[in-house]
Amino acid sequence: MSTFVPSLFLRRALLLDAVATAATGVLLAAGSGVLAQWLQLPAALSLYSGLALLPFAAFVAWLATRERVHAGAVWAVIAINALWVVDSFWLALGAGAGLNTLGQVFVIGQALAVGVFAGLEYFGLRRSQPALVAAA
């Protein structure tokens, strides 16, 4: 697998993703009861989604601080973000989860933000490619 020195752009995109993901994780987990009332988002789904986001946020933050990263690790973050976007749209528009309008707006809004992070990370990865070196 290839390692490379990530561009400053990629580092910042990953760090911003990590901060936003951690904040969303805390909001979903700690506010699961309130969100269930306001958004008609099932409390268990909110709680467990929020808890699942926290180790992912920690990994993304760790990745952002490495001197060299594996391209596959960045691709994994991009893929997980893309999957989150697809699943969020499915939840908001097609899963029959019973979200109210505010719930749909919330879920779609955070999905769009995650999509932006995936795009920024892809762009940052492309900007880092000239620094690609063979793994030792």
| Count of structural domains, the chain | 1
- 82 inside domain: yes
Q: Quote the percentage of the chain above a pLDDT of 90.
A: 82
Answer yes or no: is 47 within a domain: yes
pLDDT tens-digit map of 73-132: 999 999 999 999 999 999 998 876 689 999 999 999 999 999 999 999 999 998 886 544
pLDDT of residue 96: 66
Cα 31 from chain centroid (whole Å): 19
Give the span between the Cα atoms of 114 and 119, in whole angstroms: 9
Residue 135 pLDDT greater than 60, yes or no: no
* Domain-located, residue 23: yes
Q: Residue 44 CA to chain centroid, in angstroms?
A: 20
Residue 135 lies in a domain: no
What are the C-alpha distances in Å from 80 to residues 28, 65, 92, 102? 18, 19, 18, 25
What is the predicted pLDDT for the residue at 134?
A: 45
- What residues make up the domain containing 19? 3-130
Model confidence pLDDT, tens digit, residues 32-87? 999 999 999 999 999 999 999 999 999 999 999 999 999 999 999 999 999 999 99
